Amino acid sequence: MGLRPGRCYRYSAKSRKKAGAKSHRKKAVRQRSYSRIAIKVPRKNYIGAAPALKIRQFNMGNPIPKYDLVADLTVKDSFDLRDNAIESARTSINRHLVKTLGKDGFFMKVRVYPSNLLRENKQAQGAGADRVSQGMSLSFGIPIARSARVRNGQTIFSVLCKKGQETIVKDSLLRAKARFPCDVKVVFHTNVKSIGTLPSKLIEEKVAEKKEEKTEEGTTTEAGATGTTTGKTPTTGTGKTPAAGTTTGKTTTTEKTDAKKEEKKK
Protein backbone atom coordinates (compact mmCIF):
# COMPACT_ATOMS: atom_id res chain seq x y z
CA MET A 1 0.00 0.00 0.00
CA GLY A 2 1.29 3.43 -0.95
CA LEU A 3 0.84 6.75 0.78
CA ARG A 4 -2.57 7.50 2.20
CA PRO A 5 -4.55 10.19 0.35
CA GLY A 6 -4.77 13.76 1.59
CA ARG A 7 -8.46 13.49 2.46
CA CYS A 8 -7.47 11.38 5.49
CA TYR A 9 -5.98 14.46 7.14
CA ARG A 10 -8.53 17.21 6.41
CA TYR A 11 -12.24 17.91 6.15
CA SER A 12 -13.75 19.09 2.87
CA ALA A 13 -17.09 20.78 2.26
CA LYS A 14 -18.39 17.87 0.14
CA SER A 15 -17.71 15.13 2.68
CA ARG A 16 -19.47 16.82 5.63
CA LYS A 17 -23.10 15.79 6.14
CA LYS A 18 -25.67 18.49 6.68
CA ALA A 19 -27.66 17.27 9.68
CA GLY A 20 -29.72 19.10 12.29
CA ALA A 21 -30.92 22.67 12.40
CA LYS A 22 -29.05 25.54 10.84
CA SER A 23 -27.98 26.86 14.24
CA HIS A 24 -26.35 23.54 15.16
CA ARG A 25 -24.82 22.95 11.75
CA LYS A 26 -21.02 23.08 11.82
CA LYS A 27 -18.99 24.89 9.24
CA ALA A 28 -16.89 22.80 6.84
CA VAL A 29 -13.53 24.15 7.98
CA ARG A 30 -10.22 22.38 7.50
CA GLN A 31 -9.18 21.30 10.99
CA ARG A 32 -5.65 20.84 12.18
CA SER A 33 -4.60 17.52 13.67
CA TYR A 34 -3.42 17.23 17.26
CA SER A 35 0.36 17.62 17.24
CA ARG A 36 1.21 18.77 20.74
CA ILE A 37 4.72 17.91 21.96
CA ALA A 38 5.23 19.10 25.55
CA ILE A 39 8.93 19.39 26.38
CA LYS A 40 8.62 20.17 30.10
CA VAL A 41 5.59 17.94 30.78
CA PRO A 42 5.89 14.82 28.57
CA ARG A 43 2.75 13.27 30.07
CA LYS A 44 0.64 15.83 28.20
CA ASN A 45 2.00 14.83 24.80
CA TYR A 46 -0.43 13.96 22.08
CA ILE A 47 2.48 12.50 20.13
CA GLY A 48 5.44 10.65 21.60
CA ALA A 49 8.12 11.69 19.12
CA ALA A 50 8.39 13.61 15.87
CA PRO A 51 9.75 11.91 12.71
CA ALA A 52 12.94 13.13 11.11
CA LEU A 53 12.83 15.96 8.59
CA LYS A 54 13.41 14.86 4.99
CA ILE A 55 14.41 18.28 3.65
CA ARG A 56 18.22 18.24 3.64
CA GLN A 57 18.89 21.83 2.64
CA PHE A 58 16.95 25.09 2.72
CA ASN A 59 19.50 27.43 1.05
CA MET A 60 21.24 26.59 -2.22
CA GLY A 61 23.50 28.48 -4.60
CA ASN A 62 25.58 31.61 -4.07
CA PRO A 63 23.99 34.48 -2.08
CA ILE A 64 26.93 36.91 -2.43
CA PRO A 65 26.33 38.46 -5.92
CA LYS A 66 23.80 41.25 -6.44
CA TYR A 67 20.73 39.85 -8.22
CA ASP A 68 18.07 41.79 -10.12
CA LEU A 69 15.05 39.47 -10.22
CA VAL A 70 13.19 37.18 -7.84
CA ALA A 71 11.18 34.18 -9.10
CA ASP A 72 8.51 32.87 -6.68
CA LEU A 73 6.82 29.50 -7.11
CA THR A 74 3.27 29.85 -5.71
CA VAL A 75 0.49 27.29 -5.31
CA LYS A 76 -3.16 27.69 -6.33
CA ASP A 77 -4.84 25.74 -3.53
CA SER A 78 -4.83 25.26 0.25
CA PHE A 79 -3.68 21.83 1.37
CA ASP A 80 -1.09 19.90 3.41
CA LEU A 81 2.21 19.59 1.51
CA ARG A 82 4.34 16.64 2.62
CA ASP A 83 8.04 17.01 3.27
CA ASN A 84 8.99 14.28 0.78
CA ALA A 85 7.20 16.22 -1.98
CA ILE A 86 9.13 19.37 -1.07
CA GLU A 87 12.44 17.48 -1.08
CA SER A 88 11.69 15.84 -4.43
CA ALA A 89 10.85 19.19 -6.02
CA ARG A 90 13.91 20.84 -4.46
CA THR A 91 16.35 18.28 -5.83
CA SER A 92 14.92 18.43 -9.36
CA ILE A 93 14.92 22.25 -9.46
CA ASN A 94 18.40 22.54 -8.00
CA ARG A 95 19.84 19.97 -10.41
CA HIS A 96 18.45 21.79 -13.45
CA LEU A 97 19.68 25.20 -12.22
CA VAL A 98 23.19 23.91 -11.54
CA LYS A 99 23.42 22.38 -15.04
CA THR A 100 22.22 25.53 -16.82
CA LEU A 101 23.43 28.45 -14.66
CA GLY A 102 26.24 26.87 -12.66
CA LYS A 103 26.47 26.37 -8.92
CA ASP A 104 27.35 30.06 -8.32
CA GLY A 105 24.93 31.64 -10.80
CA PHE A 106 21.78 31.65 -8.65
CA PHE A 107 20.43 31.42 -5.11
CA MET A 108 17.37 29.37 -4.12
CA LYS A 109 15.54 29.28 -0.80
CA VAL A 110 12.79 27.02 0.57
CA ARG A 111 10.10 29.30 2.02
CA VAL A 112 8.01 26.77 4.00
CA TYR A 113 8.76 24.50 6.95
CA PRO A 114 6.88 21.20 7.52
CA SER A 115 5.84 21.58 11.17
CA ASN A 116 2.57 19.59 11.02
CA LEU A 117 2.73 15.90 11.97
CA LEU A 118 0.79 13.23 10.08
CA ARG A 119 -0.36 10.15 11.99
CA GLU A 120 -1.84 6.76 11.17
CA ASN A 121 -3.56 4.17 13.33
CA LYS A 122 -2.65 0.53 12.87
CA GLN A 123 -5.17 -1.34 10.75
CA ALA A 124 -5.44 -5.10 11.26
CA GLN A 125 -6.86 -7.25 8.46
CA GLY A 126 -8.96 -10.37 8.83
CA ALA A 127 -11.87 -11.45 11.01
CA GLY A 128 -11.92 -10.71 14.71
CA ALA A 129 -9.61 -7.72 14.51
CA ASP A 130 -12.08 -5.13 15.78
CA ARG A 131 -10.01 -4.24 18.83
CA VAL A 132 -7.07 -3.02 16.78
CA SER A 133 -9.04 -1.43 13.96
CA GLN A 134 -11.48 0.51 16.17
CA GLY A 135 -8.97 1.43 18.86
CA MET A 136 -9.70 3.35 22.01
CA SER A 137 -10.96 6.87 22.59
CA LEU A 138 -8.50 9.68 21.78
CA SER A 139 -6.09 7.37 20.00
CA PHE A 140 -3.94 9.84 18.12
CA GLY A 141 -2.01 7.28 16.10
CA ILE A 142 1.68 6.92 15.33
CA PRO A 143 3.51 9.78 13.57
CA ILE A 144 4.68 8.74 10.10
CA ALA A 145 5.63 11.98 8.32
CA ARG A 146 5.64 15.78 8.37
CA SER A 147 3.70 18.28 6.30
CA ALA A 148 3.45 22.03 5.78
CA ARG A 149 0.00 23.66 5.89
CA VAL A 150 0.02 25.72 2.70
CA ARG A 151 -2.57 28.32 1.77
CA ASN A 152 -3.65 29.55 -1.64
CA GLY A 153 -1.09 31.93 -3.18
CA GLN A 154 1.74 31.06 -0.77
CA THR A 155 5.31 30.85 -2.10
CA ILE A 156 7.11 27.53 -1.75
CA PHE A 157 10.44 28.30 -3.48
CA SER A 158 12.18 31.59 -4.29
CA VAL A 159 15.07 31.94 -6.73
CA LEU A 160 17.35 34.98 -7.05
CA CYS A 161 18.60 35.45 -10.62
CA LYS A 162 19.68 38.12 -13.09
CA LYS A 163 17.89 39.65 -16.06
CA GLY A 164 17.91 37.46 -19.16
CA GLN A 165 17.58 34.20 -17.17
CA GLU A 166 13.78 34.22 -16.86
CA THR A 167 13.10 31.32 -19.22
CA ILE A 168 15.69 29.02 -17.61
CA VAL A 169 14.48 29.74 -14.07
CA LYS A 170 10.82 29.35 -15.04
CA ASP A 171 11.40 25.99 -16.74
CA SER A 172 13.28 24.71 -13.70
CA LEU A 173 10.65 25.87 -11.19
CA LEU A 174 7.79 24.34 -13.19
CA ARG A 175 9.36 20.93 -12.64
CA ALA A 176 7.71 20.97 -9.20
CA LYS A 177 4.28 20.71 -10.87
CA ALA A 178 4.64 16.93 -11.19
CA ARG A 179 5.56 16.63 -7.48
CA PHE A 180 2.75 18.74 -6.01
CA PRO A 181 -0.94 17.76 -5.79
CA CYS A 182 -2.10 21.11 -7.21
CA ASP A 183 -1.42 23.61 -9.95
CA VAL A 184 1.48 26.06 -9.56
CA LYS A 185 2.61 29.30 -11.19
CA VAL A 186 5.82 31.35 -11.34
CA VAL A 187 5.79 35.09 -10.55
CA PHE A 188 8.74 37.43 -11.27
CA HIS A 189 9.37 40.68 -9.38
CA THR A 190 12.27 42.93 -8.35
CA ASN A 191 11.74 43.05 -4.57
CA VAL A 192 14.86 41.17 -3.50
CA LYS A 193 14.27 41.91 0.19
CA SER A 194 11.07 39.84 0.17
CA ILE A 195 13.12 36.65 0.26
CA GLY A 196 14.22 37.44 3.83
CA THR A 197 17.64 37.28 5.42
CA LEU A 198 20.44 35.56 3.57
CA PRO A 199 22.31 32.70 5.32
CA SER A 200 25.42 33.98 7.09
CA LYS A 201 27.12 30.57 7.27
CA LEU A 202 26.82 30.05 3.53
CA ILE A 203 28.29 33.49 2.85
CA GLU A 204 31.26 32.75 5.14
CA GLU A 205 31.88 29.44 3.36
CA LYS A 206 31.87 31.13 -0.06
CA VAL A 207 34.32 33.80 1.13
CA ALA A 208 36.64 31.13 2.56
CA GLU A 209 36.54 29.21 -0.74
CA LYS A 210 37.58 32.33 -2.67
CA LYS A 211 40.51 32.95 -0.30
CA GLU A 212 41.69 29.35 -0.70
CA GLU A 213 41.53 29.64 -4.49
CA LYS A 214 43.62 32.83 -4.42
CA THR A 215 46.26 31.23 -2.17
CA GLU A 216 46.44 28.15 -4.41
CA GLU A 217 46.93 30.33 -7.49
CA GLY A 218 49.73 32.25 -5.72
CA THR A 219 51.55 29.07 -4.71
CA THR A 220 51.34 27.60 -8.22
CA THR A 221 52.83 30.75 -9.77
CA GLU A 222 55.69 30.77 -7.24
CA ALA A 223 56.39 27.09 -7.87
CA GLY A 224 56.51 27.73 -11.62
CA ALA A 225 59.01 30.57 -11.13
CA THR A 226 61.34 28.54 -8.88
CA GLY A 227 60.95 25.25 -10.72
CA THR A 228 64.38 25.30 -12.49
CA THR A 229 66.84 22.45 -11.78
CA THR A 230 70.20 23.20 -10.12
CA GLY A 231 72.13 20.15 -11.43
CA LYS A 232 73.88 19.53 -8.07
CA THR A 233 74.36 16.18 -6.36
CA PRO A 234 72.16 15.46 -3.35
CA THR A 235 73.77 16.03 0.05
CA THR A 236 73.38 14.20 3.33
CA GLY A 237 71.84 15.60 6.52
CA THR A 238 75.16 17.24 7.48
CA GLY A 239 75.36 19.11 4.18
CA LYS A 240 78.41 17.10 2.92
CA THR A 241 78.61 14.42 0.28
CA PRO A 242 79.68 10.96 1.54
CA ALA A 243 83.20 9.78 0.68
CA ALA A 244 83.68 7.05 -1.89
CA GLY A 245 85.25 4.43 0.36
CA THR A 246 83.36 5.05 3.58
CA THR A 247 80.86 2.62 5.07
CA THR A 248 77.74 3.46 7.01
CA GLY A 249 78.44 1.02 9.85
CA LYS A 250 75.33 -1.10 9.22
CA THR A 251 75.52 -4.82 8.42
CA THR A 252 73.98 -6.00 5.18
CA THR A 253 71.47 -8.83 4.84
CA THR A 254 74.07 -11.23 3.36
CA GLU A 255 76.36 -10.85 6.38
CA LYS A 256 73.45 -11.65 8.74
CA THR A 257 72.56 -14.83 6.86
CA ASP A 258 76.20 -16.00 6.89
CA ALA A 259 76.42 -15.48 10.67
CA LYS A 260 73.23 -17.53 11.23
CA LYS A 261 74.59 -20.44 9.13
CA GLU A 262 77.82 -20.54 11.14
CA GLU A 263 75.89 -20.63 14.43
CA LYS A 264 73.84 -23.61 13.22
CA LYS A 265 76.97 -25.53 12.20
CA LYS A 266 78.49 -25.07 15.66
| pLDDT, average across residues 56-85 | 90
The pairs formed by 51-57 with CB atoms below 8 angstroms and a separation of 24 or more are 51/117, 51/143, 51/144, 51/145, 51/146, 53/83, 53/114, 53/146, 54/83, 54/84, 54/86, 54/87, 54/146, 55/83, 55/86, 55/87, 55/90, 55/110, 55/114, 56/87, 57/90, 57/110
Residue 75 pLDDT greater than 90, yes or no: yes
In a domain, 62, yes or no: yes
Q: Which domain holds residue 179?
A: 29-120+140-204
In a domain, 165, yes or no: yes
In a domain, 256, yes or no: no
pLDDT tens for 217-229 read 777 776 666 655 4
In a domain, 200, yes or no: yes
> Which of 27, 114, 29, 104 has its CA nearest to residue 60?
104
Residue 239 pLDDT greater than 90, yes or no: no
CATH number of the domain residue 181 falls in: 3.90.1170.10
| pLDDT, average across residues 79-101 | 92
In a domain, 222, yes or no: no
In a domain, 264, yes or no: no
Confidence of residue 238 (pLDDT cuts 50, 70, 90): low
3-state secondary structure 219-256: HHHHHHHCCCCCCCCCCCCCCCCCCCCCCCCCCCHHHH
In a domain, 111, yes or no: yes
* Per-chain mean pLDDT for the chain: 76
When divided into structural domains, the chain yields a total of 1
In a domain, 184, yes or no: yes
